[in-house]
Amino acid sequence: MARILLIDDDDDMRTMLGLTLTHFGHTVIEAQNGKQGLAIFAQANADLVMTDMVMPEKEGIEVVIELRKNNPDLKIIAMSGGGRGSGTGYLLAAKGLGANKVLAKPFSNEELNAAISELLPDTASR
C-alpha cells in the first residue's frame, strides 16, 4: 500500500479522506496547509501527495509547483471544491503545472481509489 501525504485545510474533509485512505490500506500523513505540507514532505517519504488547491499559508498551486520542481517523478493529485467556477480553474491550472490527476470535490470513494490505482498500480486497494 502507499504512503500518502494528504494536505487540506478543511478539518472535516481531511479527517474523512484520511479515514477513507486508511480503510483502503494506505498510510496517511496529514497536513493542515500547503506550508506545513511541504515541510512534512521532506521527511514523509510519501509515494503520493494529495493537495487541496485553496488553503491559507500556501496555496495548492504553489505546493504543486514546488513539489514538481524538486520531485519530477512524484505522483500528485490536486483537489478543489465546486464543479463550476473557481474550483475548475484551479484544477486546470494544477494539471497544467504538473498534477498527475485532478479531482473535483465532492468525489466518490471509487473515483479516489481509481485515481490512486492508476498512478500507483502496485498499491491498488483490495
Q: Please list the pLDDT of the chain residue by residue as tens digits (126 residues).
A: 899 999 999 999 999 999 999 999 999 999 999 999 999 999 999 999 999 999 988 999 999 999 999 999 999 999 998 544 556 788 999 999 999 999 999 999 999 999 999 999 887 554
Query: Do 77 and 49 form a contact (C-beta atoms < 8 A)?
Result: yes
C-alpha cell at 81: 471544491
Residue 16, domain member (yes or no): yes
Q: Tell me what pLDDT residue 23 has.
A: 95
| Total length of the chain | 126
Whether 126 maps to a domain, the answer reads no
Q: What is the CATH number of the domain that holds 46?
A: 3.40.50.2300
Q: Which pLDDT belongs to residue 86? A: 53
Domain count for the chain:
1
In a domain, 74, yes or no: yes
* pLDDT at site 82: 58
What integer pLDDT is reported at residue 75 of this predicted model? 98
Q: Which domain holds residue 20?
A: 8-53+66-120
Distances (CA, A) of 50 to 5, 9, 56: 6, 12, 16
Q: Report pLDDT for 88.
A: 78
Q: Is residue 3 in a domain?
A: no
Domain membership flag for residue 60? no
Question: Does 1 map to a domain?
Answer: no
- The owner of cell 490512486 is 116
State the pLDDT at residue 126: 45
| Residue 58 falls inside a structural domain | no
Residue 95: inside a domain, yes or no?
Answer: yes
